Every structure is written in structure tokens, then in C-alpha cells.
Amino acid sequence: MRRTLLLAALVGLAACASPTPTPKPACPTQGPTAVDAQATLADAGRAVVDTNKGAFTIELYPRQAPLASANFVALARCGFYDGISFHRVLPDFVAQAGDPQTRQNRGDFQGLGSGGPGYEFEIEPPAEGLTYDPYTVAMANDTRTNGSQFFIDLADLNGRLERLYTIFGTVIEGSDVVHTIGKVPTNGPAGLPLDPVIINSIRIEANPASSPSV
């Protein structure tokens, strides 16, 4: 009788145990090709970015910027952005993140803002009809290639930015969180937040069936 009760208790504990989390895929080691992008983006329409300041949602532009969108999705799914900080916040300009060096070092250091995924891929010129409006999400680059860094427009930057930065999405939910990030105190012209703004995770979702295509 006692053994039966013990087995029942163990079965009950097993039933209540948390499910084993799905392991993340390996991070890419090279930039996406057009074929890679198509497969990666098959079920990817939005990215929910959870930060220590709150969460916001980016609607991706897979048709207008397939390479940049697929690269962002692949890095998000493998956890590349988890724990990374927004290392550059310039009020009424941009909030920028994606340097993996900021995962270990939240302060100022030589080479801040130079980190990437270990590979580069071609810049896609902004598609016709896409502009640098507030909450636009674009790739940060060295004017030659893209990597992992991206920025969010905190103001209308049309005419202030050359059209060298691939636009691959826009914030459609949580604009108040983006506004909060854009107002954090920084160390001055360099824009390093004194109170680190940390990306906890990025979750990729499919667009709702009712969502209009962009």
C-alpha cells in the first residue's frame, strides 16, 4: 500500500513538472542567401522584443528586405540577442543594439559598437515606399555590409539619414516602451545608457491571418 502511494506521488510530481524547454538552434555562421531567407521567413512575421524596460513588437518586412529580416530572425531564434544591451541611445535620433560585446560589459570600452555575428552580408537598399519614420527599424552598418546591429528611429529622420540603412521592420506595439528607452539618461554625446537597457529575449511569431501585408 505504501509503495503504491509513493508511486502515485511520483507520477503526480512528474505530471506537475515543467516541460523541458525546446533547445535553441545553433546561430548562423554566415549571412543568409535568398534561398535561406525564404525558408527562414516562412513562419516569421513579427518579433516580440522583451527588455528590462518592457516589451515591444516589430512587424518585419520579409518581402522588402528578405536578407535583413531573415538574418534578424535567425539570430533572434538562436538567442544571439539575449542579454545584449542598447549601447547607443540618442534622444530624437536612434536607439541602437546588437553588439554582442555588451553582454559581458555594460559600460564604456574601446571597440564598443563594433561587435557583430562573425560574418557580414550585403546591404539591401530601402525598398520604395519605406522611409525613416519614427519607430522604423533598420540595420546599422559601416556603409559596406550588414551584421547584427540594428536601430530604431526615435524621430522622423527622413532627410537626416542617407538611404544606406536597410529598413526591415517597424514597431507596431509598445511604442511607449521605445519612448522610455529613448529617454534614458546617457553618458553624453556617445549615447551609452547609464542605466543599461537590456534585451532579455526576442520571440519570433507568425503574423495573424487577418494582418494586412505590407
The verdict on residue 50 lying in a domain is: yes
Question: Does 122 fall in a domain?
Answer: yes
Residue 154 in any domain: the answer is yes
* 12 found inside a domain: no
Domain with 97 in it: 31-205
The pLDDT of residue 105 is 97
Are 157 and 90 within 8 A, CB to CB?
Answer: no
The 10s digit of each residue's pLDDT in 189-208 is 999 999 999 999 999 999 88
In a domain, 74, yes or no: yes
pTM for the whole structure: 0.88
DSSP state, 100? G
In a domain, 3, yes or no: no
Report pLDDT digits (tens) over 2-45: 555 444 454 454 555 556 667 899 999 999 999 999 999 999 99
Q: pLDDT tens for residues 121-144?
A: 999 999 999 999 999 999 999 889
Structural domain count, the chain: 1
Question: For 36, which DSSP code?
Answer: H
- Look at residue 16 and tell me if it is in a domain: no
Does any domain span residue 136? yes
The helix (H) or strand (E) run that includes residue 169 is strand 167-173
Q: Measured between alpha carbons, how far is residue 187 from residues 52, 129, 150, 155 in Å?
A: 19, 36, 20, 20
pLDDT higher than 60, residue 83: yes
How far apart are alpha carbons 51 and 134 in whole angstroms? 19
CATH of the domain at 57: 2.40.100.10
